[in-house]
Amino acid sequence: MALTGTIALSVSAPTNPAQAEPDIETVRDRVDRLLHQAEQASERYNDARLELAELNRDLDSLEADQSRQGDVLDGVRADVRDATIQRYQNGGLGATGELLASDSAGFLDELATLSTVDGIQDSLLSDYDNELEAYSIRRDQTEERRADVKALKKDLAKEKKSADDKLVEAKSLLSKLEEEERAEILSRGGYRAPAAGSIPASGRAKAAIAYALAQVGDAYVYGAAGPNAFDCSGLTMMAWAQAGVSLPHSSRAQMGSGTPVSRSDLQPGDLVFYYSPVSHVALYLGNGMIVHAANPGAGVKVSSVDEMPYAGAVRPG
C-alpha cells in the first residue's frame, strides 16, 4: 500500500494583504526538513512491511507445524487408548471400562487412576508426554508470533500517519508562497537526464540505468514502486529488477544487499545511500550524477551525487 502524498504546486497564495510574506529561505529549510522527516517515516514503514512479511511467513510455518504436531499428538493418544481398551477387553480394567478424556490434562489424569496403568507400555506413555510438550511449545510460539504481527501492524499505521502529517505541514508552508517560489523550492538542483546509451555501463547495470532514466519526471509517492510513481527505494528496486536482481523495498535493507564500494570506486549502476541513519537511495550514473525519486514535489529526477549527505554505496548483483 502506497502512502499518498504528492505535493501539488497549484495551491493559491493567501490574498490577505495584512499577512506577512514568509521568508523563502526559512520556508525552504523547513520544507526540506519536513520532506526528509516524511521520507524517514516512509522508509521505516517500508522496513516494517518487510518485517511483517517475514513474521507472517514465520507464523504460517509455525501454524502448519502446530497442526502437524497436533496430528502426531492425536495419533499417540489413539495408541494409548487402543492399548488401554485392549487391556480392558483382556480383563485388566476390572469393572470400570470408562472412556478416557479427550483433553490432554484429563487424559493423563484418568490414565493415572486406571488399574491398568502399570500394564501400558512405558514407552507409549513417554511418547505421549513428549508429544504433548512439543505441541505446547509450538502453540506458544504461534501465539507469540500472532502478537508480534499485531504489534507491527500498529507500527505501520503510526509510520504512515507520521509521513502524512509531515506532508500536510509542508503543503501548508508552501501554500503561503507564490507558485514560482514553490516550484523553485521543490524542483531545484535537477539536471537534464542524459540518454541511457551515453552512460558507460554494460550488462545488468545498463538495464537498471535505462529503466531508472525512463522514469525521470514520474511522480514521487511514499510506498510506491511503479509503474508511474515511486519512492526512492521503490525506484532502485524496480530498476535492478529489470536486470534480474531482487532487492528489498527499503533503503536500509538495500544497503545490505550488495558489495560495499568506496566513493572513489563508484561505477554506473551502483546504489548510493544518504543520511544517518540511511533513509534515501539513488542510482549512480557516473560523472558525479545520480537518478533518484527525490521528493513529492520533484518526483524522479537527475541530481548531483552531493545533493544530500552521503552515507555509502553498494554494488548489487
Least confident of 53-57, 61-65, 105-109, 137-141: 105-109
Query: Looking at residues 35-58, what average pLDDT do you find?
Result: 79
Which position among 229, 232, 283, 291 bears the catalytic label? Answer: 232
Give which of 220, 190, 192 is closest to 300, Cα–Cα: 220
292 is catalytic: yes
> Which residue has 480383563 as its cell numbers?
91
H/E element, 274: strand 271-274
C-alpha to C-alpha distance for 301 and 303, rounded to whole angstroms = 6
Q: Write down the domain spans for the chain.
A: 22-188, 191-315
Q: Name the active-site residue from 131, 280, 281, 285.
A: 280
Q: What mean pLDDT is predicted for residues 95-114?
A: 53
The pLDDT > 70 percentage for the chain reads 69
For residue 102, what is the DSSP state?
S
pLDDT confidence of 94, banded at 50, 70, 90? very low
Which of 36, 138, 145, 292 is catalytic? The answer is: 292
50-61 burial, b at 16+ Cβ within 10 Å, e below that, comes to: ebbeebeebbee
Question: Is 232 an annotated catalytic residue?
Answer: yes
d(CA 165, CA 97): 70
pLDDT tens for residues 232-282?
Answer: 999 999 999 999 999 999 999 999 999 999 999 999 999 999 999 999 999
Confidence of residue 142 (pLDDT cuts 50, 70, 90): confident
The CATH code that applies to domain 22-188 is 1.10.287
The CATH classification number of 191-315 equals 3.90.1720.10
From the CB of residue 175, how many other CB atoms can be counted at a distance below 10 Å?
Answer: 14
pLDDT of 110 strictly over 70: no
